[in-house]
Amino acid sequence: MHWITKTLAPSIILCGLIAVGFSATAQEKKKPDLGKITEAWLSSPHADRSAEAFKHWNDEDIRMVPKECSTCHTSRGIIDYLGTDLRAVNVIEQPQPLGSTVDCVTCHNPKSMALQSVVFPSGARVDGLGKEAICATCHQGRASGTDVTAAVAGREDDVVAGDLTFINVHYKAAAATQMGSVAAGGYQYEGQTYAGIFIHVKEEPSTCLSCHNQHSLKVKPIDTCVTCHKGATKYSDIRSTEMDVTGTGDTAQGIAHSITTLHAMLGAAIQKYAAEVAGTPVVYDPHAFPYFFIDTDGNGAITPGEAIFPNRYQSWTPRLLKAAYNYQFIAKDPGAYTHNPHYAIQLLQDSLADLGKAVQVDMAGMVRP
């Protein structure tokens, strides 16, 4: 199994049973409070019908959620995908109606509750995930570094290829980040080694439910973290390495700050490379598909009329595509600093180093985890 299990001594178990006494009162106290659970779910993004995740297709002519999207964006889609309704397992056979969310039935059905394994876009299968399996089914992205590898195969690193297009990992691929090199969600440069499954504390892999409430999705209070992470008042204060990963001499601020710094450096390096090597300036908009656009006025920022599909960036070289994919991979997982900070840092640093083979990139003093 993937997760590490620990065996409790019989005496400890016995003491626990005596303390509980298996009384009717004790059993009644363990019954879930459906009112609180419902309230928590209603406050979650999973219940927000006004969110783009659930209304994106409302204006489409077909007015149905396409098969390839319905697994994660409708309630019935996941049931179809897992085969609960006796259709083929792992196949979506039909589009799903508009108007649903990720509701109770999505997770509380026999197939979802029995699910233990997840296959990631890279083809990697992870077993023994338990309750986290249903979370990872959707929060894994829709692309991986292997897609980038296939797209650039046989091409020269710095030659613009007109048929190359941006490869988007999709949104909130937290499970792919958390699994690191096992899922290979990021583009992993040849010859480098990458962090695997994020181990939070010694011999204990981090899990979704160790930090998130399973119904509200809210991050649990940081109170338990300060036992080890003294002085932290929020998760982004936590420093998970003493290394100077940015080369700035900063080893005190939370690792989230370091990842943000590296991400900004990569964005600047991408723009430098696009202008100097690819020959067409590029600009990024996190809210507009396909995210990378031609910087028509060369000012380095999105201006009105630039973030539109006809102005999408099309001067991709293999080297630029690799870096842009990793830039987006980190951008679309805002919790990367908690899900797998070393993996995130490695992807960012290696992308900078690769761009540095073609343009000037200052990585002096950076230490790679």
Q: Which two tokens stand for residue 188?
A: 């992993």
| 290 DSSP assignment | T
pLDDT at 224: 81
Phi-psi region of 313 (alpha: psi -120 to 50; beta: other; left: phi over 0): beta
Q: Which two tokens stand for residue 305?
A: 């009329």
The CA distance from 341 to 350, in Å, is 14
Tell me the pTM: 0.89
pLDDT at 22: 38
What type of residue is 299?
N
What type of residue is 273?
Y
pLDDT at 203: 60
Q: Which residue carries 């370091």 as its tokens? A: 258
Q: Which residue carries 């459906």 as its tokens? A: 34
| 291 DSSP assignment | S
Burial class (CB in 10 A: 0-12, 13-18, 19+), 207: middle
pLDDT at 29: 56
pLDDT at 205: 63
8 A C-beta contact, residue 367 and residue 349: no
Q: Which among 117, 112, 127 is positioned nearest to 78, based on CA atoms?
A: 112
pLDDT at 130: 92
| 189 DSSP assignment | P
The CA distance from 286 to 271, in Å, is 15
pLDDT at 356: 98
The CA distance from 91 to 89, in Å, is 5
pLDDT at 20: 39
- What angle, 0 to 180 degrees and rounded to 10, lies between the N-to-C axes of helices 341-355 and 255-273? 20
CB-side exposure of 113: number of CA atoms within 13 Å?
Answer: 5
> Which run of H or E residues covers position 64?
strand 64-65
8 A C-beta contact, residue 223 and residue 230: no
Q: Could you give the C-alpha distances from 278 to 189, 294, 296, 314, 317, in angstroms and in order?
A: 20, 12, 14, 10, 7
Q: Which two tokens stand for residue 349?
A: 């640093």
Q: Which residues of the chain have pLDDT under 50?
A: 1-27
pLDDT at 1: 39
The CA distance from 126 to 119, in Å, is 6
pLDDT at 10: 33
- What angle, 0 to 180 degrees and rounded to 10, lies between the N-to-C axes of helices 318-331 and 341-355? 150
User: Which residues 6+ apart lie within 8 Å of 194 measured at CB?
Assistant: 180, 181, 186, 188, 343, 346, 347
Separation of CA 345 from chain center: 14
8 A C-beta contact, residue 57 and residue 69: yes
Q: Express each pLDDT in 248-299 by its tens digit.
A: 998 999 999 999 999 999 999 999 999 999 999 999 999 999 999 999 999 9
What is the C-alpha radius of gyration for the chain, rounded to an integer number of angstroms?
A: 23
> Which run of H or E residues covers position 293?
strand 292-294
The CA distance from 248 to 251, in Å, is 9
8 A C-beta contact, residue 81 and residue 91: yes
The CA distance from 166 to 322, in Å, is 9
The CA distance from 190 to 351, in Å, is 12
8 A C-beta contact, residue 200 and residue 217: no
